[in-house]
Structure 1
Amino acid sequence: MSRVAFITGGSRGIGRETALAFARAGFDVAISARTLEEGETHAHSLSHADGRPLAGSLAETAAAIRALGREAFAVRMDLLDEQSVHAAAAAVLARFGRVDVLVNNAIYQGSDLNLPFMSLGADTLERVFRGYVMAPVVLTQCLLPAMLAQGGGTVINVTSGAGESDPPVATGKGGWGYAYGAGKAAVSRLSGVLAAEFGDQGIRAYTVNPGVVSTEALRATIGERGVLAMRKGVAPPEVPAAVLCWLGTAPQAPDFQRRTIQAQPFALEQGIVPDWRAPSPVTA
């Protein structure tokens, strides 16, 4: 029986590259996002400054997975809709009968995500709660019984430095806002709880910070100034994707639970992406 990876946010960026990494590693892959077909628009979705939707779709990622010789299953899922999350989990289990690796990568990315503190409203915080707290918890709860029944599984939660440190500058000048930081802080706490409660039953759980990654979504969220303000190297999405796949497959990976893995230095330390070298930090 083939191993199965379920990658949320698989229409573009880190999610897309992670799905392809697992396909190359021999997994059949389920992917979810709101954008099933190229060019779709959705409420609270990111877009370019001229209003164009960001490139990428589940259909395109699924085609790339199949080109690698693996089965792909694309399911539309809206993080803000709990029933949608339940339905996606049920559909994946119905299709494959198992999930060996779950990567909670998708997040709410509305234009209000990095509002200044005094501009935050209850509606924004409610969406952040649904997208960053409820959705990954509900999805993991839906899939965990099947993982336990099959003898184990891996859950990888994608966090951010915004959830573990203060912004370098104010939001609006390239820093992140409270809503995003609070959402990612919640994500950072999930894996440790899973490892503590289910580690003796074969569940492995990891927290991964991709670092600054050159995706369209990053630039649409905080802009070029934000990338510069972080004053760190920028990696292509293939680098954190390779780390996520390594954690889901490498025999030595369980040693790296109960901590936040910084994907870019970790990739170098473990030799995960041998042809990549981190760029020099930005000093401007």
Structure 2
Amino acid sequence: MRQVAFITGASRGIGRETAIAFARAGFDIAISARTLEEGEVYEHAIRQADGTPLAGSLAATAEAARAFGGEVLSLRMDLLDSASVRQAGRQVVDHFGRLDVLINNAIYQGSDLNLPFMELTADTLERVAQGYLLAPFVLTREVMPTMLEQGGGTVINITSGAGESDPPVPAGKGGWGYAYGAGKAAVSRLSGILTKELGEQGIRAFTLNPGVVTTETLKATIGEAGVIALRNGSAPPELPAAVMLWLATAPGAADYQCRTLHAQPFAKEQGIASALSVEQSMSS
């Protein structure tokens, strides 16, 4: 029986590459995002400097993933709507009858996310609480009975250094704001709780910090000049995708629970970066 992975926020960036990596490895996959088709426009979304939506869609991700022969289930899911999140989780387990890997990658990315403290409003924090605290909880809680019934499963939660440390400079001058930091801090606490409470029932849970990743969102946020400036300290989205596949499949991965893993140094430590480079050169 083929294993099943559910990756949220899979219309572009890390989520897209993670979906493709799991499909390549022989998984059937479920993918979710708000954007089913290219060019759809939503409130509270990052856009290009000219106001156009970022490139990427679930349809494009699904097409790329299906090239590896597995089944792909695409679901529209809105993090800011708990009913939508709950329904997506239910659809995945109803469709496949199992779920082996859940990757909570999707985040709220409104333009207000990193406002300075004195410009921040309660409305933004309510959206952050919904997107970063409630949505991962609701989705994980919805699929967990299925994981427990089948004897185990893996949950990977994507965090950020913003959730674990203070910004080097103020928000508005290159640092992150309270809303984003608070949201990611909530994400960082989920995996350890799952491990301690459900580990003896076969649940493995990991917290992964991808570091600076050259995604469409990063380019839209800091521009091409900023991306070039960060080149030596950044990684392509394929790298955290490869790390997540390793965490979900490697026999020794369980040893790396109850800590935050930093994708780039971890990939070097485990030889994942070298394997990825070989794989990319063979496919080019």
Task: Work out whether the TM-score is over 0.5.
Answer: yes
**Structure 2 equivalent of residue 182 of structure 1:** 182
What 5-or-longer segments of structure 1 have no aligned partner?
Answer: 278-284
Q: Distance in 1 between matches of 2:232 and 2:176?
A: 15
SS at match of 1:83: helix
1:68 Cα offset (Å): 1.2
**Structure 1 equivalent of residue 247 of structure 2:** 247
**Structure 2 equivalent of residue 219 of structure 1:** 219
**Structure 2 equivalent of residue 281 of structure 1:** none
1:273 Cα offset (Å): 2.3
Q: Report whether the alignment pairs 1:27 with 2:55.
A: no
Identity in percent: 71
Q: Distance in 2 between matches of 1:275 and 1:199?
A: 29
**Structure 1 equivalent of residue 191 of structure 2:** 191
State whether residues 174 and 225 of structure 1, in contact with CA within 8 Å, keep that contact through their aligned partners in structure 2.
no
Opposite residue 63 of structure 1, the aligned amino acid is E
Figure out how many residues of one structure are paired with residues of the other and give that number. 277
**What is the TM-score when the length of structure 2 is the normalising length?**
0.94
**Structure 1 equivalent of residue 64 of structure 2:** 64
State whether residues 26 and 68 of structure 2, in contact with CA within 8 Å, keep that contact through their aligned partners in structure 1.
no
Matches within 5 A, 1:117-196: 117-196=117-196
1:219 Cα offset (Å): 3.1
RMSD: 1.6
SS at match of 2:2: coil
When structure 1 is superposed on structure 2, of 187-196 and 267-276 the one drifting more is 267-276
SS at match of 2:233: coil
Opposite residue 151 of structure 1, the aligned amino acid is G
Q: Distance in 1 between matches of 2:41 and 2:148?
A: 37
**Structure 2 equivalent of residue 102 of structure 1:** 102
1:47 Cα offset (Å): 0.4
Opposite residue 11 of structure 1, the aligned amino acid is S
What 5-or-longer segments of structure 2 have no aligned partner?
Answer: 278-284
Q: Distance in 2 between matches of 1:11 and 1:220?
A: 15
Q: Which has the higher helix share?
A: 2
State whether residues 191 and 207 of structure 2, in contact with CA within 8 Å, keep that contact through their aligned partners in structure 1.
yes
**Runs of 4+ in structure 1 over 3 Å off:** 221-232
Q: Report whether the alignment pairs 1:267 with 2:267.
A: yes
**What is the TM-score when the length of structure 1 is the normalising length?**
0.94
Q: Distance in 2 between matches of 1:243 and 1:76?
A: 26
Q: Distance in 1 between matches of 2:191 and 2:22?
A: 20
